[in-house]
Structure 1
């Protein structure tokens, strides 16, 4: 219970830094004052400070106190990604896709395959009905199902952040229509078949075709 409480306090201190209550370069209050501010015991404060120091948010110096690091960036990662260069975003997304497909080939189970097949069917149906939004949604869901099949939740979260930004980019720049999805559907089917058959080399080759054409 103590660990969970210290995590909560860590989040509250981060939030107070983000709001400007504690500014970069500023020495935060001593333990007794922090105990009053957050209404918790000394051990929870110490664990929270330790965690924030390890994360680079705070700097603890004997005899001087605990300082908010001047270089600490409180801007959310999603906001930072939205400002990043598209080519850099796309390059990282491609690296993630390759690793996620590799993991999916090895670690997928029947439930994962069922989800992939479902979204692939929805993608095809959306193409047939010329519903562009449904195509986009099913396409993202299909790739997210592959990501989840890999079994690494951290990679899944990272990939989702990158994928949403890529989607918004193409949504604002591509001509309306479903030809982009229709031309690539056979490749997505081949990717699914390769993952299902645990053929990593084939899966990576098909994925590369998808990536090369920004499908």
Structure 2
């Protein structure tokens, strides 16, 4: 009678693909492959993840379909987003949806400011102060693109200070849409009448006053008056 041989169960193909997708997502979210970077080649992924070529291929295609990766023939596969919601929001963004973006920002950022005033740490306060300084410097530079980026970084810092992971993910998903609406509002030049001071928002969070912080966050995201 032949000796018994211990065998290890092999997960079904669909499960292997899902596990590989999860591993790829984890590396992207962890910053190993930042947005704009090229991911390793298929053979390298096979070796690194310990799965077959077809499994890697299906996982990469799934993430490309979700808008996280982009397959460029003759060049490789690149990370284009860390969030599967972001490409969906970007595809839906049109001029007649700008008001909707502002309404969604208001829903997220007012609560983020309220939570930030309650939960901010010393590190958060330092990050907020630095972000506000950078935003002011970007405005003085007169460069619209620099200001849009610095403004987005300040709002991201406020959301981060709320210490709510799901809220941060939702806010990140509208990042492109948010920057587009700000850029559209500013136009080609930074003019004084379009300047919106955010120092009082940061002061409210520093003071630990949730009500004041919510009021300040809502003030610059007020819906336009009815026509």
Structures share a fold, TM > 0.5? Answer: yes
2:16 and 2:193 mapped to 1: Cα distance? Answer: 44
Runs of at least 5 residues in structure 1 that lack an aligned partner in the other structure: 15-34, 40-75
Alignment of 1:3-82 (within 5 A): 9-10=17-18, 76-82=84-90
More helix per residue: 1 or 2?
Answer: 1
Structure number with greater CO (CA < 8 Å, separation at least 6) is 2
Alignment length, in residue pairs? 152
Matched, 1:149 2:167: no
CA contact (8 A) 2:131 2:150 kept: yes
Deviations 1:51-108 (A, max 9, x none): xxxxxxxxxxxxxxxxxxxxxxxxx422321215333333222101111111101111
2:137 and 2:188 mapped to 1: Cα distance? Answer: 17
CA contact (8 A) 2:116 2:161 kept: yes
Residue aligning to 2:142: 130
Superposed displacement of residue 183, structure 1: 2.4
Deviations 1:18-61 (A, max 9, x none): xxxxxxxxxxxxxxxxx9x759xxxxxxxxxxxxxxxxxxxxxx
Distance 1:88 1:127, change over 3 A: closer
Residue aligning to 1:100: 112
Matched, 1:203 2:213: yes
Matched, 1:212 2:222: yes
CA contact (8 A) 2:118 2:209 kept: no
* TM-score normalised by the chain length of structure 1: 0.60
* TM-score normalised by the chain length of structure 2: 0.57
Distance 1:151 1:181, change over 3 A: farther
CA contact (8 A) 1:81 1:89 kept: no
Matched, 1:117 2:129: yes
Distance 1:38 1:90, change over 3 A: same
